[in-house]
Structure 1
Amino acid sequence: MTNTRTTDVAATVNQIKSLERVGVDIVRVSVPTMDAAEAFKQIKQQVNVPLVADIHFDYRIALQVAEYGVDCLRINPGNIGNESRIRSVVDCARDKNIPIRIGVNGGSLEKDLQEKYGEPTPEALLESAMRHVDILDRLNFDQFKVSVKASDVFLAVQSYRLLAARIDQPLHLGITEAAARAAGR
C-alpha cells in the first residue's frame, strides 16, 4: 500500500513506479475523498501495475474509481454503509468485471460488534466478514476475496481459521497496524 497522499499524484506515481521496479505485482492506494478519486484517475494512467482502491466511508468513491479503471475495490464493512450502498458498489463491480475485497479490520469493527464482543475477537471478525459475504452471496456476486486482519498475529490467525472453515472464497492474508489494541496487551 502506498503511504503518500493520493492527491499528491507525482509522489504517489513515483512510489508506485519504485514498487514496480522491484517486482511488486499489485498496489493498494487509499482513496478517502472524491479529490483522491480524481487523483486516482491520473495515477492509473501513469502506472502499469494493477491498482486496488482502498475505500472507506463513502461508497460513491468506489463508483467513481470504477469509472477510472480500478483493478480491485477494497471495502471495509465497518464503515462502508448499509446494504443498499453495498448493492450499488456490487452492481458497478459486476458491470465492469471488478473484483472486491471485503476487508474486515479488528480496529474498525461495526459498532454493534464492538458492543457485543467488547474488543476484537476471532468471532467478532468472523461475524463481520460473514455479514458481508452473505450480502454478496444474496446479490449473486462471487468475484470477491476476504480478509480479517488484526495487529495481533494470534487473533488474525484464529480469525482466518474460523473464516476458512466457513467459506470457499479466496482469503487475502495479512496483518495490519490499523487495529486497536486492548488495554493491558
Structure 2
Amino acid sequence: MISDPTSSRARRMTRQVRVGKVLLGGGAPVVLQSMTSTPTHDVDATVMQVNRLAAAGCDVVRVAVPAKEDTAALPEIIRQSPVPIIADVHFHYERALEAIDAGVAKIRLNPGNIKDRKQVNEVILACKRVGIPIRVGVNEGSVVERQDKAVRETEKGELARDYHTNLIRLMVRKLEE
C-alpha cells in the first residue's frame, strides 16, 4: 500500500502504465479523466470541449467512437488536444483499429459489446503493436444475465493474459450506487 497525503485511504501498489505523456498507477499522482458529450465527428465542438476539460484539470479525455466518421475525426482532434485522447469503443472492433491507427493514447473496450474473441484479440494485438494500453470496461448491462459472475471473471482474465499494459476495471452499476 502507498500512503496518499491527499486522502485518508491507502492506495494499492499497481503496475505503472503510460497514456500518452501521463502516467497511471505505480505510485503516480491520481489522474483525472472525463469524457466529451459531443458527437466526436464534430471536430470543433469536440476540441472545444477537450480544451475546456483540460483547463478544468483533466489529465486525459475520452471520446466516443461509435461510427467511422468519429474515428476519421480523431487525427485532427489528437493534433489539437493538449491532453491524451482515449477512444471509447462501442460495438464495432473496426472502430478500435481505426482509432489505434489514428494515434489515440488508449482504448476503452467493452468485451460484452464485442463478443467475437478473434475480433477482441485483433484489437489487443494492435494495441500491443503500437504500445498503448487497453482499459477493459465491462458494464454489468452488457453481459447477458445468464453469463453471471463466473463468465464476467473469465472474460476479464482472458483479456488480461499476455498483455501487460491492460488496465482492468469492471464498471458495475452497483458500485456506483
One fold, TM greater than 0.5? yes
Partner of 2:157: 133
Count of residues in Structure 1 that have an aligned counterpart in Structure 2 = 143
Superposed CA offset, 1:144-170 (max 9, x none): 11122233xxx32xxxxxxxxxxxxxx
Say whether the 8 Å CA contact 1:90–1:136 is kept in structure 2: no
- TM-superposed CA distance for 1:60, in Å, is 1.0
Match of 2:106 in 1: 72
For 1:89, the equivalent position in structure 2 comes to 123
Compared CA separation, residues 86 and 99, structure 1 to 2 (3 A): same
Task: Name the structure 2 match of 1:4.
Answer: 38
Flag as ranges the 4+ runs of structure 1 deviating above 6 A: none
User: Structure 2 counterpart of 1:145, which letter?
Assistant: L
Partner of 1:181: none
Please state how far the C-alpha of 1:97 moved relative to its aligned partner: 0.2
- In the alignment, what sits opposite 1:15? 49
The change in CA–CA distance for 1:81 and 1:97 in structure 2 (over 3 A counts) is: same
Question: What is the match of residue 19 of structure 2?
Answer: none
TM score, norm. by length of structure 1: 0.72
Which residue matches 1:63? 97
**Match of residue 143 from structure 1:** 165
Aligned to 1:105: 139
- Distance in 1 of aligned mates of 2:94 and 2:147: 29
Superposition deviation, residue 129 in structure 1: 4.5
Q: What SS does the corresponding residue of 1:39 show, helix, strand or coil?
A: helix
Structure 1: where are the runs of 5+ without partners?
118-123, 157-174, 177-185
Q: Distance in 2 between matches of 1:42 and 1:51?
A: 11
Q: Greater helix share, 1 or 2?
A: 1
- Unaligned 5+ residue runs, structure 2? 1-34
